[in-house]
Amino acid sequence: MIAIIDYGAGNLRSVEKAFAYLGYETVVSSDENVLLSADKIVLPGVGAFADAMNMLRDSGLDLTVKKAVERKIPLLGICLGMQMLFESSEEGAEVPGLAVFKGKIKKFEETSGFKIPQIGWNSIKIKEGTKLFKDIPNDSYVYFVHSYYLDAEDKNVVAATCDYIHPFHAAVESGNVFACQFHPEKSGKTGLAILKNFAEM
Protein backbone atom coordinates (compact mmCIF):
# COMPACT_ATOMS: atom_id res chain seq x y z
CA MET A 1 0.00 0.00 0.00
CA ILE A 2 1.27 3.44 -0.94
CA ALA A 3 -0.09 6.24 1.26
CA ILE A 4 -0.36 9.81 -0.06
CA ILE A 5 -0.32 12.46 2.66
CA ASP A 6 -3.37 14.73 2.59
CA TYR A 7 -2.56 17.90 4.52
CA GLY A 8 -4.93 20.17 2.61
CA ALA A 9 -2.66 21.05 -0.30
CA GLY A 10 -0.99 19.15 -3.07
CA ASN A 11 -1.39 17.35 -6.36
CA LEU A 12 -3.02 14.36 -4.64
CA ARG A 13 -5.27 12.98 -7.35
CA SER A 14 -2.77 13.08 -10.20
CA VAL A 15 -0.24 11.19 -8.07
CA GLU A 16 -2.92 8.73 -6.98
CA LYS A 17 -3.98 8.14 -10.60
CA ALA A 18 -0.39 7.57 -11.74
CA PHE A 19 0.20 4.83 -9.15
CA ALA A 20 -3.21 3.30 -9.95
CA TYR A 21 -2.30 3.24 -13.65
CA LEU A 22 0.82 1.28 -12.70
CA GLY A 23 -1.33 -1.16 -10.73
CA TYR A 24 -0.40 -0.15 -7.17
CA GLU A 25 -2.91 0.19 -4.36
CA THR A 26 -2.99 3.66 -2.83
CA VAL A 27 -4.74 5.50 -0.04
CA VAL A 28 -5.03 9.27 0.42
CA SER A 29 -5.08 10.01 4.14
CA SER A 30 -4.36 12.49 6.92
CA ASP A 31 -4.51 9.75 9.59
CA GLU A 32 -1.09 9.11 11.11
CA ASN A 33 -1.88 5.47 11.87
CA VAL A 34 -2.88 4.83 8.26
CA LEU A 35 0.18 6.63 6.91
CA LEU A 36 2.71 4.93 9.18
CA SER A 37 1.26 1.48 8.50
CA ALA A 38 1.76 1.90 4.73
CA ASP A 39 4.61 0.30 2.81
CA LYS A 40 5.53 3.62 1.18
CA ILE A 41 4.56 7.25 1.73
CA VAL A 42 4.32 10.15 -0.73
CA LEU A 43 4.51 13.82 0.32
CA PRO A 44 3.08 15.83 -2.60
CA GLY A 45 2.89 19.59 -2.85
CA VAL A 46 1.97 22.55 -5.00
CA GLY A 47 1.71 26.21 -4.07
CA ALA A 48 3.61 28.37 -1.61
CA PHE A 49 6.20 26.99 0.84
CA ALA A 50 5.04 28.86 3.95
CA ASP A 51 1.35 28.06 3.42
CA ALA A 52 2.07 24.37 2.86
CA MET A 53 4.39 24.12 5.88
CA ASN A 54 1.83 25.84 8.10
CA MET A 55 -0.89 23.43 6.94
CA LEU A 56 1.42 20.46 7.50
CA ARG A 57 2.26 21.65 11.04
CA ASP A 58 -1.32 22.63 11.92
CA SER A 59 -2.41 19.09 11.04
CA GLY A 60 0.45 17.53 13.02
CA LEU A 61 1.59 15.72 9.90
CA ASP A 62 5.05 17.30 10.06
CA LEU A 63 5.73 14.93 12.97
CA THR A 64 4.29 12.03 10.96
CA VAL A 65 6.79 12.71 8.16
CA LYS A 66 9.65 12.76 10.66
CA LYS A 67 8.43 9.49 12.22
CA ALA A 68 8.32 7.91 8.75
CA VAL A 69 11.92 8.96 8.18
CA GLU A 70 13.00 7.58 11.57
CA ARG A 71 11.15 4.30 10.97
CA LYS A 72 12.81 3.98 7.55
CA ILE A 73 9.53 3.83 5.63
CA PRO A 74 10.35 4.78 2.01
CA LEU A 75 9.22 8.38 1.51
CA LEU A 76 8.91 10.30 -1.76
CA GLY A 77 8.61 14.09 -1.81
CA ILE A 78 7.30 15.66 -5.02
CA CYS A 79 7.82 19.30 -6.08
CA LEU A 80 6.95 21.44 -3.03
CA GLY A 81 6.99 18.17 -1.09
CA MET A 82 10.71 17.96 -1.86
CA GLN A 83 11.33 21.58 -0.89
CA MET A 84 9.65 21.11 2.49
CA LEU A 85 12.16 18.37 3.36
CA PHE A 86 14.86 21.04 3.57
CA GLU A 87 15.62 23.68 6.20
CA SER A 88 14.18 26.86 4.70
CA SER A 89 12.97 28.65 1.60
CA GLU A 90 13.30 32.19 0.32
CA GLU A 91 9.55 31.86 -0.31
CA GLY A 92 8.34 32.47 3.25
CA ALA A 93 11.73 32.63 4.97
CA GLU A 94 10.13 33.06 8.39
CA VAL A 95 8.67 29.54 8.26
CA PRO A 96 11.18 26.69 8.77
CA GLY A 97 11.05 23.51 6.74
CA LEU A 98 11.19 19.94 8.01
CA ALA A 99 15.02 19.90 7.96
CA VAL A 100 15.25 16.23 7.01
CA PHE A 101 18.09 17.43 4.76
CA LYS A 102 20.34 20.46 5.11
CA GLY A 103 19.98 23.08 2.42
CA LYS A 104 17.94 26.03 1.24
CA ILE A 105 15.30 26.64 -1.42
CA LYS A 106 16.21 29.72 -3.47
CA LYS A 107 14.34 31.85 -6.02
CA PHE A 108 15.42 31.86 -9.65
CA GLU A 109 16.98 35.20 -10.56
CA GLU A 110 15.24 37.27 -13.25
CA THR A 111 17.30 36.55 -16.36
CA SER A 112 16.85 37.73 -19.93
CA GLY A 113 15.56 34.97 -22.17
CA PHE A 114 14.13 32.87 -19.34
CA LYS A 115 10.61 32.79 -17.95
CA ILE A 116 9.94 32.32 -14.25
CA PRO A 117 8.44 29.95 -13.26
CA GLN A 118 10.08 27.25 -15.31
CA ILE A 119 7.09 25.46 -16.83
CA GLY A 120 7.62 22.53 -19.12
CA TRP A 121 9.99 19.77 -20.07
CA ASN A 122 13.70 19.78 -19.28
CA SER A 123 16.41 17.13 -19.22
CA ILE A 124 18.12 15.88 -16.08
CA LYS A 125 21.63 14.62 -15.42
CA ILE A 126 21.34 11.45 -13.37
CA LYS A 127 23.89 10.31 -10.80
CA GLU A 128 25.02 6.74 -11.32
CA GLY A 129 23.75 4.09 -8.94
CA THR A 130 20.62 5.88 -7.72
CA LYS A 131 17.61 3.75 -6.82
CA LEU A 132 15.02 6.29 -7.94
CA PHE A 133 16.46 6.48 -11.46
CA LYS A 134 17.31 2.80 -11.93
CA ASP A 135 17.35 1.91 -15.67
CA ILE A 136 16.36 5.46 -16.67
CA PRO A 137 18.62 6.98 -19.35
CA ASN A 138 20.70 10.04 -18.55
CA ASP A 139 19.35 13.28 -20.06
CA SER A 140 15.77 12.00 -19.87
CA TYR A 141 13.12 14.73 -20.02
CA VAL A 142 10.73 15.39 -17.11
CA TYR A 143 8.09 18.03 -16.40
CA PHE A 144 8.78 21.02 -14.13
CA VAL A 145 6.61 23.80 -12.70
CA HIS A 146 8.60 25.94 -10.23
CA SER A 147 9.98 29.38 -9.44
CA TYR A 148 12.25 28.17 -6.65
CA TYR A 149 15.08 25.65 -6.77
CA LEU A 150 17.05 23.50 -4.36
CA ASP A 151 20.60 24.22 -3.21
CA ALA A 152 21.42 21.16 -1.09
CA GLU A 153 24.23 21.56 1.43
CA ASP A 154 25.33 17.91 1.19
CA LYS A 155 26.01 17.23 -2.48
CA ASN A 156 26.20 13.49 -1.73
CA VAL A 157 22.40 13.31 -1.45
CA VAL A 158 21.86 14.82 -4.90
CA ALA A 159 20.49 12.16 -7.28
CA ALA A 160 19.91 14.36 -10.36
CA THR A 161 20.60 17.88 -11.55
CA CYS A 162 18.98 20.13 -14.13
CA ASP A 163 19.96 23.36 -15.88
CA TYR A 164 17.60 26.33 -16.09
CA ILE A 165 19.23 29.77 -15.88
CA HIS A 166 21.96 27.83 -14.04
CA PRO A 167 22.47 24.26 -12.78
CA PHE A 168 20.34 23.25 -9.78
CA HIS A 169 19.57 20.12 -7.77
CA ALA A 170 16.54 18.37 -9.28
CA ALA A 171 16.32 15.23 -7.10
CA VAL A 172 17.75 13.79 -3.90
CA GLU A 173 17.93 10.43 -2.21
CA SER A 174 19.45 9.23 1.03
CA GLY A 175 18.53 6.11 2.97
CA ASN A 176 14.76 5.74 2.78
CA VAL A 177 14.07 9.33 1.66
CA PHE A 178 13.66 10.27 -2.00
CA ALA A 179 12.47 13.52 -3.57
CA CYS A 180 12.25 15.32 -6.88
CA GLN A 181 11.54 18.92 -7.90
CA PHE A 182 9.80 17.84 -11.10
CA HIS A 183 6.44 16.08 -11.35
CA PRO A 184 6.93 12.38 -12.19
CA GLU A 185 3.15 11.94 -12.38
CA LYS A 186 3.14 14.43 -15.30
CA SER A 187 6.36 13.22 -16.94
CA GLY A 188 5.07 10.54 -19.29
CA LYS A 189 6.78 7.16 -19.51
CA THR A 190 9.91 8.42 -17.76
CA GLY A 191 7.89 9.68 -14.82
CA LEU A 192 5.94 6.43 -14.56
CA ALA A 193 9.22 4.51 -14.55
CA ILE A 194 10.46 6.68 -11.66
CA LEU A 195 7.27 6.05 -9.68
CA LYS A 196 7.55 2.31 -10.42
CA ASN A 197 11.14 2.31 -9.13
CA PHE A 198 9.93 3.93 -5.90
CA ALA A 199 6.96 1.58 -5.55
CA GLU A 200 9.13 -1.50 -5.96
CA MET A 201 11.84 -0.59 -3.45
Where in the chain are the domains? Answer: 2-199
185 is catalytic: yes
What pLDDT score does 93 carry? 79
Is pLDDT at 47 greater than 90 in this prediction?
no
What whole-number distance in Å separates Cα of residue 84 and Cα of residue 56?
10
**Mean pLDDT to the nearest integer, 69-93:** 96
Among 16, 91, 173, 185, the one annotated catalytic: 185
Of residues 47 and 132, more confidence is placed in 132
What whole-number distance in Å separates Cα of residue 65 and Cα of residue 44?
12
The model's pLDDT over 170-189, given as tens digits with 9 standing for 90+, comes to: 999 999 999 999 999 999 99
- Range with the lowest mean pLDDT among 5-14, 68-77, 108-117, 170-179? 5-14
Contact between 138 and 171 under an 8 Å Cβ cutoff? The reply is no
Contact between 140 and 190 under an 8 Å Cβ cutoff? The reply is yes
Question: What average pLDDT does the structure give for the chain?
Answer: 96
79 is catalytic: yes
| 120 torsion bin: left (phi>0), alpha (psi -120 to 50), beta (else) | left
What pLDDT score does 9 carry? 74
183 is catalytic: yes
What pLDDT score does 18 carry? 97
2-199: CATH, from 3.40.50.300, 3.90.1170.10, 3.40.50.880, 3.40.1440.60: 3.40.50.880
What pLDDT score does 12 carry? 87
The model's pLDDT over 112-165, given as tens digits with 9 standing for 90+, comes to: 999 999 999 999 999 999 999 999 999 999 999 999 999 999 999 999 999 999
Tell me the pLDDT band of 46, cut-offs 50, 70 and 90: confident
Specify the amino acid at residue 3: A
Provide, rounded to the nearest whole percent, the portion of the chain with pLDDT above 90: 94
What pLDDT score does 71 carry? 97
What whole-number distance in Å separates Cα of residue 50 and Cα of residue 62?
13
What whole-number distance in Å separates Cα of residue 164 and Cα of residue 161?
10
Helix (H, G, I), strand (E, B) or coil at 57: helix
Among 90, 162, 183, 200, the one annotated catalytic: 183
What pLDDT score does 127 carry? 98
Beta-strand pair 88-89/118-126: unpaired
Is pLDDT at 14 greater than 90 in this prediction?
yes
Dihedral of alpha carbons 33, 46, 100, 39, sign? positive
Among 16, 79, 173, 180, the one annotated catalytic: 79
Which residues 6+ apart lie within 8 Å of 67 measured at CB?
32, 36
